[in-house]
Amino acid sequence: MRGVILHGPGDVRVEEREHPEIIDATDAVIRVVAACVCGSDLWPYRGADEADAQKMGHEYVGVVEEIGSEVRTVKPGDFVVGSFVISDNTCEICQAGYPSRCVNATFVDGSIGTQAEYARIPYADGTLVATPGTPSQEMIPSLLAASDVLGTGWFAADAAGAGPGRTIAVVGDGAVGLMGVLAAKQMGAERIIAMSRHESRQALAREFGATDIVVERGDEGVEKIRELTGGLGAHGVVEAVGTQESMMQAIRATRPGGSVGYVGVSHGVEFPGIELFFSLIHLHGGPAPVRRYLPELIRLIWDGTIEPGRVFDKVLPLDQAAEAYAAMDQREAVKVMLTP
């Protein structure tokens, strides 16, 4: 079978790999129906993270081909959505709502790599969720979004305390930031401020529910958020970038007592302790516990309440994965779907 391997910065290749097989009784093997390139894949692609013949891809939807003898909740033929972290969904950490740090957690990226034709999913019951039936072609991008960007944006909006009467600001106009806007809207936020300087992304943010757009960045951006909120700052801020600038922008744009939901993979971020101390804010974030939200997200997609798949603005066959990475790297595409 074919799958994407990153050999080094900018070196994306589609190569022949071993066809996955059931190893443990709790495994499932799925045929990947759609996968995609994530903003976080750009860190190793750009050389910010090391990559040495790494299997790429952690977002996926597919059809179950085969299951181990102990798998109970999915069966061959089921259409499934999985989280980007393998989880048993039974340990204390999972039960508390944090399956992305399950005691048996494995990151799909690197170990499995779903930018491929097939994938072995350990702890299938704890990782995969079957859809109510076979989805239409139009619904597949939205279900794929649930696998990471939607689930991550959802967690970030939740962690930022989105809800009725709240003003939520979103730092980052990539797919996760845009999904954070959609999530905040679904959670009933009254005002949603998207921080973006790209016209096409601003338009998408508005479609997803943004009420205001702020084009300024850094301290100017913070100043603008304060102006829009009576000098107080937002009740909650979604941070979906992971840089020093974006993190400080999020912290400084949050009012005392408010919350930052941070999901941008942190790179070189350092906190000035004394500023954090006096900010009096909640910080909650990390790898999103997507599996916790999957059943609800699938339901909202299935009944047509949300259409997060609109975030995909390019579709390419798996063989053209290199082009997909380049398009995301150059910001020519918000998010690229790959079809094997």
Task: Tell me which residues touch Zn ion (CB under 5 A).
Answer: 87-88, 91, 94, 102
Q: Closer CB to Zn ion, residue 33 or residue 85?
A: 85
CB-nearest residue to Zn ion: 102
Q: Nearest approach, Cβ of 149 to Zn ion (angstroms)?
A: 23
Q: Closer CB to Zn ion, residue 180 or residue 287?
A: 287
CA distance 33 to 20: 15
Q: Closer CB to Zn ion, residue 241 or residue 294?
A: 294
With residue 109 as reference, give the H or E element that holds it. Answer: helix 108-111
Q: Both tokens of residue 146?
A: 């649930």
Q: Are strands 234-239 and 254-262 parallel, antiparallel or unpaired?
A: parallel
Q: Nearest approach, Cβ of 146 to Zn ion (angstroms)?
A: 20
- Residue labelled with tokens 């794929």: 144
Q: Closer CB to Zn ion, residue 23 or residue 96?
A: 96
Letter string b/e over residues 175-194, b meaning 16 or more CB atoms within 10 A of that residue's CB: bbbbbbbbbbbbbebebbbb
Q: Nearest approach, Cβ of 89 to Zn ion (angstroms)?
A: 6
Q: Closer CB to Zn ion, residue 38 or residue 102?
A: 102
Which amino acid, residue 137? Q
Q: Closer CB to Zn ion, residue 95 or residue 339?
A: 95
Q: Closer CB to Zn ion, residue 153 or residue 289?
A: 289
Q: What's the DSSP call for residue 4? A: E
DSSP string, 182-224: HHHHHTTBSEEEEE---HHHHHHHHHHT-SEEE---HHHHHHH
Q: Closer CB to Zn ion, residue 98 or residue 325?
A: 98
Q: Closer CB to Zn ion, residue 41 or residue 88?
A: 88
Of residues 106, 92, 145, the one with CA closest to residue 294: 145
Q: Nearest approach, Cβ of 287 to Zn ion (angstroms)?
A: 13
Q: Nearest approach, Cβ of 81 to Zn ion (angstroms)?
A: 18
Q: Nearest approach, Cβ of 87 to Zn ion (angstroms)?
A: 5
Q: Nearest approach, Cβ of 285 to Zn ion (angstroms)?
A: 19
Q: Nearest approach, Cβ of 295 to Zn ion (angstroms)?
A: 16
Angle between helices 199-208 and 175-186 (to 10 degrees): 20
- Residue labelled with tokens 């959505």: 81
The backbone region for 110, taken as left when phi is positive above 0, alpha when psi lies in -120 to 50, beta otherwise, is left
CA distance 236 to 254: 6
Q: Nearest approach, Cβ of 160 to Zn ion (angstroms)?
A: 25
Q: Both tokens of residue 221?
A: 């951006």
Is the CB of residue 58 less than 8 Å from the CB of residue 151?
Answer: no
